[in-house]
């Protein structure tokens, strides 16, 4: 079991989910895209957990404290907007649920965009290119992606250096 499974109860995305060909498995830009995809998955899980709690509304104790605060400090504001204390709390809860729904939609769109970007990157790539050079008693190995697709990961490379 991986640390991610242990710590978060989920496992990293499988290549099947992202449709990454074998030739691209060790590509640095695609590894970064997988990290972004996985971060979206974590954000979706945490936002969904918060949304589940938001559907239940404010816990009773917090609701009572907030209602008391509104009655004591904001009676004029409530009257000006023709709201009751319960109406104001209901509006606040509805706005919070809407905000969370929008955030989940944004995360879903981001994940879909990442899938499309990864598909475009792998479609126009023959796999990573590895170059080696030696200088001053060290060997340098650089692995870059050869995709022709413009993407935010295009300047990501893996560089290994070792003493000879």
* 38 falls within a domain: yes
Binned at pLDDT 50, 70 and 90, residue 124 comes out as confident
Q: Is residue 45 in some structural domain?
A: yes
Are 121 and 29 a contacting pair, CB within 8 Å? yes
Is residue 157 situated within a structural domain? no
Q: Tell whether 132 is covered by a domain.
A: no
Of the candidates 82, 146, 149, the one whose C-alpha atom is nearest the C-alpha of residue 117 is 149
pLDDT, residue 17, reads 66
Distances (CA, A) of 7 to 4, 10, 37, 53, 138: 5, 8, 18, 21, 39
48 falls within a domain: yes
Specify the higher pLDDT residue, 32 or 109: 109
Q: What is the pLDDT of residues 55-86, one digit of tens each?
A: 888 888 988 998 999 988 888 888 888 989 99
Q: Domain range for residue 110?
A: 19-124
d(CA 2, CA 46): 19
Per residue in 8-47, pLDDT (tens digit) is 454 444 445 677 888 887 788 888 888 898 899 899 999 9
What is the structure's pLDDT at 33?
A: 87
- Structural domains counted in the chain: 1
């Amino acid at each position: 079991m991986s640390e991610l499974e242990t710590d978060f109860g989920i496992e990293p995305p499988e290549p099947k989910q992202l449709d990454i060909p074998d030739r691209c498995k060790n590509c640095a830009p695609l590894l970064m895209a997988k990290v972004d995809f996985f971060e979206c998955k974590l954000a979706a899980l945490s936002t969904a957990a918060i949304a589940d709690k938001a559907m239940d509304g404010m816990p009773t104790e917090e609701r009572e404290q907030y209602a008391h605060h509104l009655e004591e400090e904001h009676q004029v504001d409530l009257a000006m907007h023709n709201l009751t204390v319960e109406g104001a709390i209901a509006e606040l809860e509805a706005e919070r649920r809407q905000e969370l729904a929008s955030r989940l939609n944004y995360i879903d769109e981001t994940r879909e965009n990442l899938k499309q970007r990864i598909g475009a990157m792998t479609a126009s790539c023959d796999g990573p290119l590895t170059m080696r050079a030696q200088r001053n008693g060290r060997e340098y190995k650089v692995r870059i992606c050869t995709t022709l697709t413009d993407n935010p990961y295009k300047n990501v490379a893996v560089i290994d250096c070792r003493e000879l």
